[in-house]
Copies of this chain bind each other. A is one copy, B any other.
Amino acid sequence: MRRVVRHAAAAVALSTVLSFAAAQETGKPLLGFTAASAVTERAWETKFKALPDSKKIADNMHLLAAHPHNVGSEAQRKNAEWLLQQYKSWGWDAQLETFDVLYPTPKTRVLELLGLHPYKARLEEPPVPEDPYTQDKSPAMPPYNIYAMDGDVTGTLVYVNYGNLADYDELARNGVSVKGAIVIARYGGGWRGLKPKLAYEHGAIGCIIYSDPADDGYAQGLTIPEGPMRPKWGVQRGSVADTTLYAGDPLTPGEPSVPGTKRLAIKDSKVIMQIPTIPISWGDAEPLLQQLGGRTVPAAWRGALPLTYRFGPGSAKAHLKVESDWGTKPVIDVVAKLKGSEEPDTWIVRGNHYDGWVNGADDPISGQSALLEEARALGELHKQGWSPKRTLVYTAWDGEEPGLLGSTEWAEKHADELIKHGALYINSDENGRGFFSANGSQSTELLVNDVTHEMTDPESGKSVWDRQKAAQQAGRGRGAARPASEVERATIEFGPAGSGSDYAGFVDHLGVASINIGFGGEDRSGTYHSAYDTPWHWDRFGDKEQVYGKLFAQTAGLIVMRMADADVMPYSFNELSLTVSSYASNLKTELKQLQADSAARTRLLTSGAYQLANDPRNSLQPPPALPMPPAMDFSTLDVALDKLKSAAAHYQQATANASSLPAAKRKQLNDDLAVSERKLISADGLPGRPWTKHLLYAPGTFTGYGASTLPGVREAVEAGRYDEAKQQLSVLVQALNEEAAWIDHMAGEAGQ
């Protein structure tokens, strides 16, 4: 409601001034702009929006994804140089920044089933006759899981479903141990690296990860070449480095991998997985699963192969041998700047990686190609006379796939500048047809909502905002599972930052406000991290015309321009306050639920219900007792949330006319805004992971990609570490109090 009032009031004030404006769009006020500067901004934005060209985006993809271009490859070096030349040709101040990082490459990969019906796994992805890119003779990286230890192990096989914590509970109830065994897990259900990590912690000696056709194969749709889904021999490569602890070079946590940095010994790196791990296709998995013995698994564990999924073990042993070259490779970031005219020290960083596991047309070139066009358009605008007030830093990150290497090393190298002046990092990765999505720092939520209200979705002819909201309401695309209460909010979905792309070094580690944006949710594909993610596949099954590539370049560019051009950077804190309050109430609910679950579990254990209900022919171990979380005193948190709410309201009210403050005052306010997210980090980091410092979101220790919110407190509660939870609560409360005080301070600066 308040937001509507603000717009309406401002609109009245401006209505006479803007009589020369052409359309209703230019009649609207802009957050952070005076009426006059809004008019100028609108004019530049209109010019900007006309510049991106779908054809050029398509050309970018066909060039960048023409050959396998993983880290260290010749194709990737050529891509880097081409990108550099592009930026230079568009008038950007561009350079390559290179880091030498630990980058194991596969030397030996053997997986075989021994015994009566031996099988030797193929472990490769044959070309598809229809797809010329798969005929490429360039050296492609074969399927492997980078950052898993070498090993040569032989053991029985146990199927562990997705291999997450709940799956090990199920195994325990069924009396199945993975001790001394090789586990076979299917992809999905959470972060890839959690599979070998939990397998190792449960005593397994090796880990096989396969793509079940239920998850991205024939069950989901026709397979390549008839359809977009993963074929029989398609393999998902991927990193198993434990980025929940830290991202970047496993040997240089918190430091850039530049000459002179002290490196850990490989054996001392906590992010390297301790057991040999290999990714395989379902073609290779089927003979292994067929020979498993033991009980039938529960329904939720069953994939789409035509067999009875069983826990194992079987009579046959498996032999897994994985050896890598543990050398270093260069990761080459392309970094291009447009210097700010008024606040040049303040950085707005925009990035998308450009390394692919193989050709990587979708991941990441669909995003990178659009970003490039966005950069070209901004360069063109600059040539026409436009200058951002703040410095734009456009980047193409290398080495995202193995472990967010390029972005993290760069963020660590430029940590001082980013901490002082990093106003916003805007990340993207893949892009495609469909619905807009954004997640990250809520201080930018209002800006993102404003921009998406203004952009027109090409498929529906309505605004991007309207379409995202409609998708949530109608249960389509990514919004399908959202609760009704969320769907009815006045803002579109804006989730927390988890992990899995290049924002980690910025937001998790440094506390630089970050958002991750993109379009998608319409085209399905089963090419993820395989040799089949090619321009042919994209053109056949994806956004060949780059309709959404163009829209993305326009949308992201507009967010960048608003942030760069505004008199007062368009942050807002009401959404932050609302969201943190919802995290807190969710935490309280979770605590209550854990208490109720613990009590219920104890009651059933005490009454003997599990034994009593047991089928002697199919008996289950009773589940373990659950720790009983004590009541927690959240009163200091509630007070802090109230302060945050008041401060946010105060800031909104005080800054209504801040855009017309004298320049020096505005500069001070903007400097203070740029660092406002930094109050939300803990100097010590989260317990057990000092690199990960943000107190509102972190990659979940047991989810990885999925964010844990208020992670210091929440994960301690979930793990039964109640003293730590109390201590983390006080760290959180202190940070929220500091954030509230800082927002109040800024409101004071803006006050008239």
Complexed CA–CA distance, A614 and B616 (Å) = 52
- Segment of A499-507, A603-611, A662-670 engaged in the interface with chain B: A603-611
Known: A304-B302, A306-B304, A618-B522. A296 touches B613 (CB 8 A): no
Determine whether A410 belongs to the interface, using a CB cutoff of 8 Å to chain B. Answer: no
- Segment of A118-126, A464-472, A565-573 engaged in the interface with chain B: A464-472
**Are B459 and A615 within 8 A (Cβ)?**
yes
Complex contacts, A579 vs chain B, CB 8 Å: none
Binary contact readout A77-119 vs B (1 if CB under 8 angstroms, 0 otherwise): 0000000000000000000000000000000000000000000
Determine whether A397 belongs to the interface, using a CB cutoff of 8 Å to chain B. Answer: no
User: Which of these, B229, B306, B434, B466, contacts A615 with CB under 8 Å?
Assistant: B434
Complexed CA–CA distance, A583 and B615 (Å) = 33
Q: How far is the CB of A627 from chain B (nearest CB, A)?
A: 20
Determine whether A474 belongs to the interface, using a CB cutoff of 8 Å to chain B. Answer: yes
- Segment of A212-220, A415-423, A437-445, A735-743 engaged in the interface with chain B: A212-220
**Are A615 and B433 within 8 A (Cβ)?**
yes
Complex contacts, A309 vs chain B, CB 8 Å: 219
User: Which of these, B223, B470, B608, contacts A608 with CB under 8 Å?
Assistant: B470
Q: How far is the CB of A492 from chain B (nearest CB, A)?
A: 13
Determine whether A460 belongs to the interface, using a CB cutoff of 8 Å to chain B. Answer: yes
**Are B476 and A615 within 8 A (Cβ)?**
yes
**Are B473 and A604 within 8 A (Cβ)?**
yes
Complexed CA–CA distance, A644 and B476 (Å) = 48
A642-695, CB < 8 A from B: none
Binary contact readout A614-653 vs B (1 if CB under 8 angstroms, 0 otherwise): 1111101000000000000000000000000000000000
**Are A609 and B220 within 8 A (Cβ)?**
no
User: Which of these, B435, B462, B612, contacts A470 with CB under 8 Å?
Assistant: B612
User: Which of these, B302, B476, B616, contacts A219 with CB under 8 Å?
Assistant: B302
User: Which of these, B220, B604, B609, B613, contacts A477 with CB under 8 Å?
Assistant: B613
**Are B473 and A220 within 8 A (Cβ)?**
no
Considering the complex, give the chain B residue whose CB is closest to the CB of A307.
B218
Complex contacts, A477 vs chain B, CB 8 Å: 613
Complex contacts, A460 vs chain B, CB 8 Å: 611-614
**Are A308 and B219 within 8 A (Cβ)?**
yes
Complexed CA–CA distance, A309 and B523 (Å) = 18
A461-491, CB < 8 A from B: 462, 466-467, 469-471, 473-474, 476-477
Known: A473-B609, A604-B473, A613-B470. A296 touches B213 (CB 8 A): no
**Are A220 and B296 within 8 A (Cβ)?**
yes
Complexed CA–CA distance, A236 and B229 (Å) = 33
Binary contact readout A241-267 vs B (1 if CB under 8 angstroms, 0 otherwise): 000000000000000000000000000
Q: Name the 5 nearest CB pairs between A and B, nearest first.
A: A470-B612, A470-B609, A474-B613, A306-B306, A471-B613
7 A–B contacts, CB within 8 A, in A order: A222-B296, A467-B613, A470-B607, A470-B610, A473-B604, A473-B609, A522-B617
- New A-B contacts (12) at CB < 8 Å, excluding given A462-B612, A473-B607, A474-B610: A218-B306, A218-B307, A219-B308, A220-B296, A302-B304, A433-B615, A434-B615, A459-B616, A460-B612, A469-B609, A474-B613, A522-B618
